[in-house]
Amino acid sequence: MVVLPQRDGSISGHSRLPQEMEPTLLRIISTVLQRRRQRRPLEYVVQKLQQMIDAAFGTQAERTPQRPSDAFMERERVLTARAERIQALRKRRLDDDGSNQLPSVFVFEVVRHRGHWRTLHRNKYSTPFPDQAAAVLAAKELARKKRDQGHDVEVRLVRTDGQVVVQPVDEEEAG
């Protein structure tokens, strides 16, 4: 701890001083004040003061490290278990042969959601369409693009009465 004298003669940084050390401390402070008058760099003065304090008061006893609390140990155990589970999931995902990465069929559903017709693909809703026919046309267009990339596709219309009607992707399939 660094002890610095104040302008009024008081000492900051130390709360308990033995009375027999006061003369030694006053001598140290007067030395520091004399060195300040000599315009020495502050770092030098602080370093010298620290050396003098260490010489006068000796070294402090070593503190034994505090034992972690039971709550801390429990948190550490839970976090370690969670990290191990995540690592196991990552390893399992990397070891997977990749057969379940892409669905066998891409499904585009036209549904009524929040008062508008929207397409639903991979649990994500599209922007609203003005009517059901526009939503079906948009779903068919998305399905054609995926089919051109080599995927199997299906377009479904989920009517408001709950029935599901499979829609043809191409117009010639309808006829």
pLDDT digits (tens, 9 = 90+) for 12-58: 555 455 566 667 777 777 777 776 666 666 777 778 888 887 777 77
Q: At what angle do helices 22-37 and 42-57 cross, to 10 degrees?
A: 160
Mean pLDDT over residues 130-153, rounded? 92
Question: Distance between CA atoms of 140 and 148, rounded to whole angstroms?
Answer: 12
**For residue 41, is it within any domain?**
yes
Secondary structure class of 105 (helix, strand, coil): strand
Boundaries of domain holding 115: 105-174
Q: Is 152 left (phi over 0), alpha (psi -120 to 50) or beta?
A: beta
Domain count, the chain: 2
Which of 41-50, 88-97, 140-149 is the least confident region?
41-50
Residue 147 identity (one-letter amino acid): R
Partners of 107 in the β-ladder: 154
Under the banding of pLDDT at 50, 70 and 90, the label for residue 175 is very low
**For residue 97, is it within any domain?**
no
